[in-house]
Structures are given as C-alpha cells and as structure tokens.
Amino acid sequence: MEEVAQTCNEKYVEYLLKDEHGFPVESFKFNQITELNVDFRGHRYSLSGLVKEADFLEASKKVRYELAMAAYKSDLKMAESLDTSH
C-alpha cells in the first residue's frame, strides 16, 4: 500500500491541493487497514490525500485504478461469494 501511495504521488501530483508555495498540503499516503474480512469478501484499506475539490472524482478513479493494478500485479485473488442455494 505504501508503494501505491508513492505511485499516486508521482503520477497524480497535479490533483493534489497545493499551499501558497506550490507544495502539496497532504500527499497521498497509506493510513491503515480499516476493516478485516468485510462480509467475508476481503479487507478495507485507508489511503488518503488532499485533492482539489474539482478533481475529486477523477483523482479517486485514478487511485482506485492504482490499487486494482497493485492487487493484480501481486496476484491477489478476489473473494468469491459462497452460494449455498444449490
């Protein structure tokens, strides 16, 4: 997750809110695992960064993409639903 945050800081720096000196107010960072085994489907993670309000939707899509790519490259398996109706 730390690597994903670093990748986002490198690739999506233009979305970050800047201070009066042009430095990001809060860069993307991994915070913590927020929940374990949510509905038997996996874990939830907290990754944050302070972005410009107008760019929020686009930045969140980009960050989710980077998370998905990291999971794919790490060969993480997606949880499957347990269908007990059969």
pLDDT of residue 79: 57
How do residues 31-56 score in pLDDT, each as one tens digit?
Answer: 756 555 556 666 666 778 999 999 99
Mean pLDDT over the full length of the chain? 81
Residue 68: CA count within 13 A, CB half-sphere: 6
The residue that leads in pLDDT, 57 or 82, is 57
Q: Tokens 């999971």 — which residue? A: 71
pTM over 0.85: no
